Structure 1
Amino acid sequence: MSDTKTLPAALRGWAERETGSIAEARDASHPRQNSRVWELVRADGCRFYLKVSPTARTYERETFALRHAAPALGAGRAPHLRASSAEHLALLTTAVPGRPAGELPLTAAEEYEAHRQGGLLLARLHAAGDLTGHWRAEAEGALDTAAHGVHRHLDEAGDRLTEAERSLVRGLADQLRRVGPLPLGFIHGDARPRNLLWSGHAAWIDFERSRFAPVVQDFVTLASGVWADRPRLRTACLGGYGRELTPQEHHVLKCLAGLAAVSALTRGEDHGDPYVAARGRRTLHRLMTGVFA
């Protein structure tokens, strides 16, 4: 967390009209330039979070998710939206109990249960929302959209990739264009241990990348990260989810992981985040050597 972001007076005034007088505003931003989040504490100890979305699109996505999909997770399993401001691109939510699962000293059994419940909640989320009209069209076109972006990602990566890696990723993108119908739903969009809170009960936060899409897209970050090191957490998550991925979904997962790896490698190196860059490099290596599972 950063100590440098002070809550602007206009935002504080807007929040206090919704929550009452704020005794303390603590910076709770992630360590990146466009993250602006504050924990607000009233004198009675009641806590809220105020988030300024980085773009209008992420504001619209998170607002929609918190209004129409996240309530399906159940009380205390996702933030409750108290208010939103299109003028400020701001969302005011209740605080959810717990801390990120990836930051807690959990026992093996506790970690397993956190990821099992996380998978259960993703199943509820994927079944939420009204998948009709333009939402269905967007979901059905999501893989084509991902494949179309491969050239931009490869251009941004430049000489960070070998020609063999570039050829691999182009091939994976081409395969996405030939995939048949997949299970669709409302996805979280950034399902990772950082956004999975644990307090004895699991909860998901940070819905700014949520959207209607093939549900397999919600497992790309997990498969490229924590599942690679601890495959038992894959078992836990999909056990809670209620089913294994189909062979076609597993193939799509590999294709999407390749595209995401190039993006992570570039983003991590450009923004001084060695962890993200290393995750991208490792995923590419796993795909090149045929051990991605």
Structure 2
Amino acid sequence: MTKATASLPPDLHQWVTRHVSSMDTAAVTDASWPRGDSRVWHVHTSHNKVFVKLYPSTEKYEREVMGCEHATRALAADEAPHLLATDPERPAVILSALPGRVVRGLPLEQAEEQQVHQLAGDLLRRWHDAPEPISDIEHQRIMASVTAQADEAATILDRLGDQLSPAEQDLVRDIARDLPGLAQALPLAYRHGDYSPRNWLWNPEPTPGHHSLIDFEESAPGLPVEDLVWLCGAAWPTRPDLRDAFLTGYGQPLSSTEQRALVLLTARLGVSYLSTGLTKTDTVLIDRGRTVLQHMVHTPR
């Protein structure tokens, strides 16, 4: 995840200095994701290892703070970073560092990868089970978001239907027709919002290994099954062993309603990728969208 030696912006450096000792000898590296909006730095001093995160909006900052607070209630102390300092004016936070490496791209043997996914399932279940109050306004926002996704699918079908196979057209039609009703029948919970291996940390030592979670700037109340969309679209179609391991850790199979909603939410993301890719002539998004749609056509729903 760490990319290159860097320096903090001067005003941010002054703020961090008030909270982190030995900043005069700190080693700073840029740890930002290539396509992310937030800026992240790893700061390593003789006394501390921390991450400094600068957000593009107050909303993402507030979600990170609330996500960290939720993690303290839902997870063990070493399974998520701790807030060491916050500044809503910048907006920025300082987070404790956790042992381990980002799972995405790690050369794991099959058994170890299955172990990581099982632990990820267990962690997510505890994350979802920790209660948070969800107001009527939040409930309306969630349902409006799902309806907007269904409407987007209908619009894309009208515009790009001739570029979809008959089976893909039927799937997108199902999204537009069925997704809002399915959402009404599903429970709500506090979701992570970006639950994928790029936000999982894995430390194989000490045995049997340790799994932890980072990056809460997309966390918010929503449908728990939304946290499975990346896995459903990118990992499980070619690795059913990882699906089995994850759901074993999660502790319960998906209900028929959850499974259908998951497939439709994942397909909605795929057709959105495809639409954006065709509009921008982005072959990466086009290929990603077509792959997800093809997988979802063959996934039981």
Give the TM-score category using the shorter length: 0.7 to 0.9
Work out the CA distance in 1 between the residues paired with 2:14 and 2:161: 47
Whether the 8 Å contact between 1:147 and 1:177 is mirrored in structure 2 is: yes
Counterpart of 2:175 in structure 1 is: 172
Work out the CA distance in 2 between the residues paired with 1:154 and 1:54: 31
Structure 1's 33 and 126: CA in aligned 2 closer, same or farther, altered over 3 A? closer
Q: Does 1:189 align with 2:193?
A: yes
**Residue identity in the other structure for 1:95:** A
- TM-score between both structures, scaled by the size of structure 2: 0.85
Task: Show CA shifts across 1:82-127 (max 9, x none).
Answer: 1111111212101111112222121212111111111111011112
Pairing partner for 1:281 from 290, 296, 300: 290
**Residue identity in the other structure for 1:262:** V
Q: Does 1:214 align with 2:223?
A: yes
Report the secondary structure of 2:186's partner residue. Answer: coil
Task: Show CA shifts across 1:234-262 (max 9, x none).
Answer: 11111111101100000000110111113
Work out the CA distance in 2 between the residues paired with 1:103 and 1:242: 26
Matches within 5 A, 1:11-22: 11-22=12-23
Work out the CA distance in 1 between the residues paired with 2:92 and 2:162: 38
Q: Which runs of 5+ in 1 are unaligned?
A: none
**Residue identity in the other structure for 2:216:** F
Matches within 5 A, 1:133-282: 133-134=135-136, 138-139=138-139, 142-152=142-152, 162=163, 165=168, 168-179=171-182, 180-199=184-203, 200-265=209-274, 270=280, 274=284, 277-282=286-291
Matches within 5 A, 1:69-148: 69-134=71-136, 138-139=138-139, 142-148=142-148
**Residue identity in the other structure for 2:11:** A
> Whose Rg is larger?
2
**Residue identity in the other structure for 1:113:** Q
Work out the CA distance in 2 between the residues paired with 1:197 and 1:271: 34
**Residue identity in the other structure for 2:180:** R
Report the secondary structure of 1:103's partner residue. Answer: coil
Task: Show CA shifts across 1:181-236 (max 9, x none).
Answer: 21321111111111111002111111111111121111111110111221111111
For these two proteins, the number of residue pairs brought into alignment is 288
Task: Show CA shifts across 1:255-280 (max 9, x none).
Answer: 10111113334566759682x55332
**Residue identity in the other structure for 1:184:** L
Whether the 8 Å contact between 1:71 and 1:78 is mirrored in structure 2 is: no
Work out the CA distance in 1 between the residues paired with 2:276 and 2:100: 29
Q: CA RMSD in A?
A: 2.8
Counterpart of 2:69 in structure 1 is: 67
- TM-score between both structures, scaled by the size of structure 1: 0.87
Structure 1's 148 and 7: CA in aligned 2 closer, same or farther, altered over 3 A? same
Report the secondary structure of 1:19's partner residue. Answer: coil
Whether the 8 Å contact between 1:224 and 1:279 is mirrored in structure 2 is: no
Work out the CA distance in 1 between the residues paired with 2:240 and 2:101: 22
Q: State which drifts further: 51-60 or 245-254.
A: 51-60
Report the secondary structure of 2:236's partner residue. Answer: helix
Query: Share of identical aligned residues, percent?
Result: 36
Structure 1's 88 and 175: CA in aligned 2 closer, same or farther, altered over 3 A? same
Work out the CA distance in 2 between the residues paired with 1:184 and 1:284: 26
Q: Which runs of 5+ in 2 are unaligned?
A: 204-208
Whether the 8 Å contact between 2:237 and 2:295 is mirrored in structure 1 is: no
Q: State which drifts further: 115-124 or 172-181.
A: 172-181
**Residue identity in the other structure for 1:92:** I
